[in-house]
Amino acid sequence: METIYLILVIVLFSLAISDLVVGVSNDAVNFLNSAIGSKAASFKTIMIIAGLGVLAGATFSSGMMEVARKGIFHPDMFYFKEVMIIFLAVMLTDVILLDVFNTMGLPTSTTVSIVFELLGAAVAVSLLKAIENPGIELHEYINTGKALAIIAGILFSVVIAFLLGAIAQYFTRLIFTFRYIKTLKYYGAIWGGIAITAITYFILIKGAKGSALITEEQHQWIQANAMQILAVSFVAWTIALQLISYLVKFNMLRLIVLVGTFALAMAFAGNDLVNFIGVPLAGFSSFQIFAEAGASDPGALLMEQLSGAVETPKLILLGAGIVMVITLWKSKKAKSVVTTTLDLSRQEEGEERFQSYTFSRAIVRAGRSLNEGVRKILPNSWLDKMEKRFTLPDKEQDTGVSFDLLRASVNLVIASIIISFATSLKLPLSTTYVTFMVAMGTSLSDKAWGRESAVYRISGVITVIGGWFFTALIAFTAAFIFAMIISFGDMIAIVLLIAVAIFFIIKTHALHKKRETEKEEREKQREYDSRLSNRQNILIQCNRTILGTLSSISKIYQDIIEHVSNEDRQNLKATGREMDTLRKSAKEQKENLYFTVNELEEHDIDSGHNYVQVVDYLRELTRSIRTIYDQGYTHVDNNHKTFTKEQKEELTNLANKLSDYLFDISSNIKHHNHGDLDRASEKNNELMDLVESMRKHQIKRIKKQNDSTKRSMLYLSILFETKNILKDTWHILKIQQRFIQSVDYYKELANNHNY
Query: Of residues 498 and 386, which shows the higher confidence score?
Result: 498
- Domain boundary at 456, 485, 517, which? 517
Considering the domain boundaries, does residue 407 fall inside one?
Answer: no
Residue 480: pLDDT above 90? yes
Residue 531: pLDDT above 50? no
Task: State pLDDT tens for residues 214-232.
Answer: 677 777 787 788 788 888 9
DSSP class per residue in 329-385: HH-TTTT----HHHHHH-SS----SS---HHHHHHHHHHHHHHHHHHHHS-HHHHHH
Other CB atoms within 10 Å distance of the CB of residue 644? 16
Query: Of residues 358 and 64, which shows the higher confidence score?
Result: 358
Task: State pLDDT tens for residues 78-129.
Answer: 888 888 888 888 888 888 887 777 676 655 677 778 888 888 888 898 888 8
Distance (Å, whole) CA 684 – CA 668:
14
Portion of the chain with pLDDT greater than 70, in percent: 73
Is residue 503 domain-shared with residue 556, that is, in the same domain?
A: no
Is residue 275 domain-shared with residue 187, that is, in the same domain?
A: yes
Considering the domain boundaries, does residue 527 fall inside one?
Answer: no
pLDDT (0 to 100) of residue 747: 45
Mean pLDDT along residues 368-380: 74
Structural domain boundaries, residue 648: 533-752
Is residue 506 domain-shared with residue 584, that is, in the same domain?
A: no
Q: Long-range pairs for 502-510 at CB < 8 Å and ≥24 separation?
A: 504/96, 504/99, 504/100, 505/18, 505/95, 505/96, 505/99, 508/99, 508/100, 508/102, 508/103
Query: Of residues 16 and 633, which shows the higher confidence score?
Result: 633
Is residue 71 domain-shared with residue 139, that is, in the same domain?
A: yes
Considering the domain boundaries, does residue 698 fall inside one?
Answer: yes
Is residue 505 domain-shared with residue 538, that is, in the same domain?
A: no
Query: Of residues 182 and 69, which shows the higher confidence score?
Result: 182
The domain that holds 695 is classified in CATH as 1.20.58.220
Residue 208: pLDDT above 60? no
Portion of the chain with pLDDT greater than 90, in percent: 4
Is residue 477 domain-shared with residue 619, that is, in the same domain?
A: no
Task: State pLDDT tens for residues 50-60.
Answer: 888 888 777 76
Distance (Å, whole) CA 329 – CA 211:
25
Q: Which of 410, 416, 407 is nearest to 56 (CA)?
A: 416
Residue 248: pLDDT above 70? yes
Q: Cβ-count burial of 300 within 10 angstroms (0-12 exposed, 13-18 middle, 19+ buried)?
A: exposed
Other CB atoms within 10 Å distance of the CB of residue 602? 5
Distance (Å, whole) CA 635 – CA 649:
19
Residue 742: pLDDT above 70? no
Lowest mean pLDDT among 385-399, 574-588, 648-662: 385-399
8 near 494, Cβ under 8 Å? yes
Considering the domain boundaries, does residue 405 fall inside one?
Answer: no
Is residue 431 domain-shared with residue 576, that is, in the same domain?
A: no
Amino acid at 600: L
DSSP class per residue in 226-260: HHHHHHHHHHHHHHHHHHHHHHT---HHHHHHHHH
Who contacts 140 (Cβ-Cβ below 8 Å, separation ≥6)?
A: 74, 77
Amino acid at 40: A
Considering the domain boundaries, does residue 579 fall inside one?
Answer: yes
Query: Of residues 657 and 357, which shows the higher confidence score?
Result: 657
Residue 745: pLDDT above 50? no
What's the start-to-end Cα distance of the chain, in Å?
63
Residue 440: pLDDT above 90? no
Who contacts 645 (Cβ-Cβ below 8 Å, separation ≥6)?
A: none
Q: Predicted confidence band at 481 (pLDDT cuts at 50, 70, 90)?
A: very high
Mean pLDDT along residues 139-154: 75
Distance (Å, whole) CA 555 – CA 570:
17
Considering the domain boundaries, does residue 523 fall inside one?
Answer: no
pLDDT (0 to 100) of residue 438: 86
pLDDT (0 to 100) of residue 274: 67
H-type helices in 177-225, by residue range? 180-183, 189-200, 216-224
Is residue 375 domain-shared with residue 500, that is, in the same domain?
A: yes
Residue 740: pLDDT above 90? no
Torsion of the alpha carbons at 129, 474, 107 and 118, rounded to the nearest 10:
10
Residue 700: pLDDT above 50? yes
Residue 518: pLDDT above 90? no
Q: Which of 187-196, 350-359, 602-611 has the highest mean pLDDT?
A: 187-196
Query: Of residues 652 and 421, which shows the higher confidence score?
Result: 652
Q: Cβ-count burial of 710 within 10 angstroms (0-12 exposed, 13-18 middle, 19+ buried)?
A: middle
Across all residues in the chain, what is the average pLDDT?
Answer: 76
Is residue 338 domain-shared with residue 387, that is, in the same domain?
A: yes
Query: Of residues 203 and 563, which shows the higher confidence score?
Result: 563
Is residue 468 domain-shared with residue 543, that is, in the same domain?
A: no
pLDDT (0 to 100) of residue 598: 64
Query: E strands, 451-580, where?
Result: none
Task: State pLDDT tens for residues 272-281.
Answer: 676 777 778 8
Considering the domain boundaries, does residue 218 fall inside one?
Answer: yes
Number of domain units in the chain:
2
Residue 432: pLDDT above 90? no
- Domain boundary at 461, 492, 517, which? 517
Distance (Å, whole) CA 351 – CA 9:
48
- Domain boundary at 464, 492, 517, which? 517
Distance (Å, whole) CA 416 – CA 31:
9
pLDDT (0 to 100) of residue 93: 87
Who contacts 65 (Cβ-Cβ below 8 Å, separation ≥6)?
A: 274, 277, 278, 281, 282, 310, 312
pLDDT (0 to 100) of residue 484: 92
Q: Which of 679, 577, 551, 690 is nearest to 629 (CA)?
A: 577
Q: Which of 224-228, 302-306, 486-490, 743-747 has the highest mean pLDDT?
A: 486-490
721 near 710, Cβ under 8 Å? no
Considering the domain boundaries, does residue 525 fall inside one?
Answer: no
Residue 739: pLDDT above 70? no
Is residue 477 domain-shared with residue 565, that is, in the same domain?
A: no
Q: Cβ-count burial of 464 within 10 angstroms (0-12 exposed, 13-18 middle, 19+ buried)?
A: buried
Is residue 223 domain-shared with residue 368, that is, in the same domain?
A: yes
Q: Which of 242-251, 391-400, 650-659, 662-671 has the highest mean pLDDT?
A: 650-659
